[in-house]
Structure 1
């Protein structure tokens, strides 16, 4: 008996507290059993652990990779794909856009099947489409109800003056009410220094020199310090979704049930030293933006590059390299490992990095390490493909790139400085530079 080769997809919105990806492992196990029961065999797995599928700004690299392989007709080393198995439709899609993308990819070749615990489904028939649409409608309604409940829960907590949920805020102990003896003094001094004319870069460097880290382990930088000192919680005020809450009785800002670090006058004074777009109230969690434009990366490879310079102890720096303006016509912008956060000893031309990435994706005249559809290459090279779509293509193929330091005084460009770390290295071999 010939079994139908299918792809197994698993997704969870949140991981377990132990960060062991238990939920997606269980889904794949169920998918394998479901596939066997209906004459199929799982030949490739695609996973999005702790990835939300309701919001349109959440990336799902496993889902994107699955769609690319369905359009291509096969998974790298696994061979042809003739269907998909999932424990439920809402694991694959919870938004109309994702439903359309999935159905277009699944039915791009005749004879495909979709399998869930209810059995085989023919995605080409009207009944198959209607069943998928019904599941989508239920998922959308469930998502809206859940989002409304969460928003109401946070608002009710805020009106009671209770602290924010989630990780403890910098400056307070784990109870979120008692001041942290060291961190609160750092915040107080930073506010006083800023009102006195100090720059945020200087404050961040002072904190870094003291070995200060955020409550999630991050190193201080001007942006995070700005967010900390302009948050209304520093003077005891409570905010929700970017707005100060007003006490119905006093008609004044609602005061929370935690100790304040500074006075309301000091908080207002320090906020007045920043432009509105820098303030916590416009950049903090769930706060509305000043414009309809979402903040995002400015350069194509931003977020993908890691510094490969060797440090004194022999370890690689590994710091994210950010983009910045260059001084030459050939390199109008560069990617740099900034000192303070990283070693500061590695920089590389922005356009030439992106040229190396393009060479890795589409090797001239020969099949590349990854077999992307010809339509993607044509759209990329013709300029038809947009910035965000290009970044999604890169994210579907690579985890990141390690940038080797250049040689001092060497003016020639070597693509070998860009070393890719392939997302599916177990299927396509070891990493190699852009030759």
Structure 2
């Protein structure tokens, strides 16, 4: 009597990419092919590994099932203890497209003798140096083809960008499905949000307003801080476009205007760009100003600083915190944090009285600046230098392209000019931001402040425009003393 053929347990691996899906194929099709191959070879598939829509060619992309496959092969069994003696795939390029991944797979498979491997064409002996070399060669060829496709895609994106043509994908929020005409209701929210950012309103406040009004994304989801920030920071709002993180410009360095309808002006977008580009940590520092990510509950949180001298001479300088104190007039106290929290704990002052004094001082300063702004020259002083350098850079490039100057002369000079041009453009952006902010500080700032037209975030932004900080000096002598404004030292911005 003949003995039954031994069961050879193998696993199936399938990977579907976006292009495979467009061709009408799916993971199930690949597993069916693998099953037919296994049956033909009298192997038994004991587990299916699947990485759906994950590229095998891109660095940094983690394929969870591929990693689990390599781990199982190295161990010789699945997590539940089921033995594994081989792998079956549709084709090598479904398994790996990077040489490092292929080598890890071969090392894991050949960790023990007698392991099996097959694709739709039949079994392959990966213990053979020739077969392994051919596999690596195939990976290299596949990688070259992927890079060709990526280069073609990049060239196509660049060409479309230079022509001002929208790219594929879903419509952006604010535009119709053709990506050219505006969606009036969505565009109005974008314009309002953009101008509120310029006016100093925090993203958190804008986000809360959008959620309360029921504004939804194009996927009918609630807005999140990151998605809102990206929407308001998108140069598409003013008709421009970025490619690989840089604005698409013409030969003269001027941003190319797209064919879609804009929501705001280029100057307004440059102001937003200056605000968001400078954001680091909990605050925003741009052109010497600071805007809050989240609006604190009190007007001068983070602006007041402790002025009590330390034992070795310098003042404490810790930011004062606000604490509710029902026993005080106004109901809250600004005080220095304890030593454990980074302060000295030695300064505390009535919050409502400090707010009242600082508000009056700031409004007076802003009104004074508004009067000066009406007569100020709003031209950016670096325009002539930028135009001269840009023209010089073009001439240098043309001379280099025509072999009139050497590489050794061209690259160092061009690098210096590029750095200066970048510096000037950043300065121009800061100038635009300051002009936009100055437009907000009009002569009626006091009326807008007292009538409730400005929320807390906008008031704090205006205070930041006028002040670096306010140093709160200690009262001294112990006990409660009358409020003394002379113990508040404003550090004004010039």
Q: Residue 115 of structure 2 corresponds to which residue in structure 1?
A: 112
Query: Any idea what the Cα deviations from partners look like across 1:245-269, whole Å, max 9, x if unmatched?
Result: 1234x64210001000000011011
SS of residue in 2 equivalent to 1:8: strand
Query: Any idea what the Cα deviations from partners look like across 1:35-88, whole Å, max 9, x if unmatched?
Result: 112232211100011111111121211111111211221124472111100011
Supply the distance in 2 between the matched residues of 1:199 and 1:225 (Cα, whole angstroms).
Answer: 12
Supply the distance in 2 between the matched residues of 1:213 and 1:143 (Cα, whole angstroms).
Answer: 37
Please point out which of 192, 197, 210 is paired with 2:195.
Answer: 192
Paired residues for 1:30-429 under 5 Å: 30-77=33-80, 79-248=82-251, 251-276=253-278
TM-score by length of 2: 0.53
Please point out which of 5, 10, 31 is paired with 2:9.
Answer: 5
Equivalent residues of 2:233, 2:276 under 8 A apart = no
RMSD over equivalenced CA pairs, Å: 2.3
Q: Give aligned pairs, total.
A: 277
SS of residue in 2 equivalent to 1:79: coil
SS of residue in 2 equivalent to 1:48: strand
Equivalent residues of 1:172, 1:179 under 8 A apart = yes
SS of residue in 1 equivalent to 2:45: strand
How far 1:2 sits from its partner (Å)?
2.1
Q: Which structure's residues are more often helix, by fraction?
A: 2
Equivalent residues of 1:167, 1:216 under 8 A apart = no
Q: Give unpaired runs (5+ residues) of structure 2.
A: 281-339, 341-494
How far 1:217 sits from its partner (Å)?
3.7
Q: Residue 374 of structure 1 corresponds to which residue in structure 2?
A: none
Supply the distance in 2 between the matched residues of 1:246 and 1:194 (Cα, whole angstroms).
Answer: 25
Supply the distance in 1 between the matched residues of 2:268 and 2:82 (Cα, whole angstroms).
Answer: 64
- Larger Cα Rg: Structure 1 or Structure 2? 2
How far 1:277 sits from its partner (Å)?
6.6
Query: Any idea what the Cα deviations from partners look like across 1:117-141, whole Å, max 9, x if unmatched?
Result: 2211111121221121122112111
Supply the distance in 1 between the matched residues of 2:20 and 2:108 (Cα, whole angstroms).
Answer: 31
How far 1:204 sits from its partner (Å)?
1.1
Q: Residue 284 of structure 1 corresponds to which residue in structure 2?
A: none
Q: Give unpaired runs (5+ residues) of structure 1.
A: 279-327, 329-435
Q: Residue 304 of structure 1 corresponds to which residue in structure 2?
A: none
Runs of 4+ in 1 over 6 A off after TM superposition: 15-18
Q: Residue 316 of structure 2 corresponds to which residue in structure 1?
A: none
How far 1:276 sits from its partner (Å)?
4.3
Supply the distance in 2 between the matched residues of 1:16 and 1:103 (Cα, whole angstroms).
Answer: 25
SS of residue in 2 equivalent to 1:70: helix
Equivalent residues of 2:180, 2:259 under 8 A apart = yes
SS of residue in 1 equivalent to 2:230: helix
